[in-house]
Amino acid sequence: MHTGNDGEWESRLKQMAHGKLDRRHFMEDIRGLTREIVERVRNFRGETIEGEYATIDAKCPNCGEAPSRRITRLSAAKTVIG
């Protein structure tokens, strides 16, 4: 299974658009990656999930504070956003 970053997936989409990659194979990899992510979430027991995450340049619309990253949602100190 191919578990590359977003840039690699975009490259594979371009390959598919130019007929250099079979759609069926690409979708099999997407399904496999989805299964892997779901399994990791189901088995998660720790405080943090390892990985590379983008910095979110936003403020809470309710309290104006920068959000902190949580596993299931973003939240500011005073407000749950999602």
- In terms of domains, do 62 and 36 share one? no
**Residues 56 and 35 placed together within one structural domain of the fold:** no
* First and final C-alpha spacing in the chain: 31
pLDDT band at 72 (very low <50, low <70, confident <90, very high): very low
pLDDT of residue 61: 78
Region of poorest pLDDT, from 7-11, 20-24, 54-58: 54-58
Are residues 41 and 2 both part of a single domain? Answer: yes
pLDDT digit string (tens) for 32-67? 989 998 888 888 776 666 666 666 677 777 788 776
Q: What is the pTM of this model?
A: 0.47
Answer yes or no: do 23 and 38 share one domain: yes
Please tell me the predicted confidence (pLDDT) of residue 77.
Answer: 54
Beta strands in the chain (DSSP E): 68-69, 74-75
Number of domains in the chain: 2
Q: In which domain, by residue range, is 58 found? A: 51-82
